[in-house]
Chain A
Amino acid sequence: LLEQSGADVKRPGASVKVSCRATGFTFPSYGISWVRQAPGQGLEWMGWISGNSGNTEYAQKFQGRVTMTTDRATNTAYMELRSLRNDDTALYFCARGPDPYSSSSYFDSWGHGTLVTVSS
């Protein structure tokens, strides 16, 4: 099970940090990807973090603006997105991949999503 933090509203230019707590499985045995979905739109992959090593890979679009981290003590992954814009308004999902060493994975478990609204 992946439990995500609650909805958040941010001003343009601010940062948001979304959490994803894993229960019922061994965190280091998996990777966690972050996928977002703008209202009424499709799925967009943002990046991945290894639950084992903490290595990260980010989509080019978000390079320099996103940071993904993990806290192995609490089995929690975090995604921080900075310099928010109106078009960052979306539902942000964490998703588990079965390979802790590669971002090339399907996703067998998803969080419920965290709605981030960016508005002035």
Chain B
Amino acid sequence: DIVMTQSPDSLAVSLGERASINCKSSQSLLYTSNNKNYLAWYQQKPGQPPKLLIYWASTRESGVPDRFSGSGSETDFTLTISSLQAEDVAVYYCQQYYSSPPITFGQGTRLEIK
């Protein structure tokens, strides 16, 4: 199974500042035949299901604000929020879909306002 490890476990950032969450996979998520990284990011607010933010490591889902961006390749990925808003307080998860079964998720990163 591919192990996904996020860092940090929790993060406090001031409003308007940049927030970055890292995700490392135990093996490459880059499929060379199509040059795509099989990595997604989700946001989960209390009492809600996860919401897809980013897929293919850097493609923003329709309707997601452009302050959210994804980067990285192979085993190291980053979710960046360019200017933190109050409504961005949530837990963020990365997910690999390169190898299934099983699909695996990172342990989550809790983002708070400083």
Q: Give A contacts to B, CB under 8 Å.
A: 33, 42-45, 47-48, 57-61, 93, 95, 102-113
B52 in complex: contacting residue of A44, A48, A60, A108, CB < 8 Å? A108
Q: CB within 8 A of B100: which of A43, A48, A95, A110?
A: A48
Count residues of B near A (Cβ-Cβ below 8 Å): 24
Q: Would you list the 6 A-B pairs with minimal beta carbon distance, nearest first?
A: A110-B49, A106-B40, A45-B103, A106-B55, A59-B102, A103-B100
Main SS class of interface, B: loop
Kindly state whether residue B72 has any CB partner on chain A within 8 Å: no
Pairs A–B under 8 Å by Cβ, sample size 18: A42-B93, A42-B107, A42-B108, A45-B101, A45-B102, A48-B103, A57-B100, A60-B101, A95-B49, A95-B50, A103-B100, A103-B103, A106-B55, A107-B50, A107-B52, A108-B55, A109-B52, A110-B50
Contact check, B102 vs A104: say whether CB atoms are below 8 A apart.
no
Indicate if the CB atoms of A108 and B61 lie closer than 8 Å: yes
Q: State the B residues within 8 Å of A (CB).
A: 38, 40, 42, 48-52, 55, 61, 93, 95, 97-108
How far, in whole Å, are A61 and B38 apart by their CA atoms in the complex?
A: 23
Contacts of B103 in A (CB 8 A): 33, 45, 48, 103-105
Across the two chains, which residue of chain A brings its CB closest to B97? A104
| Complex CA distance for A101 and B89, rounded to whole angstroms | 35
- Chain B residues, CB < 8 A from A47: 101
With A58-B101, A59-B101, A103-B100 already in contact, the answer to whether A110 and B51 are too (CB < 8 A) is yes
Q: In the complex, what distance in Å separates the CA atom of A108 from the CA atom of B55? A: 9
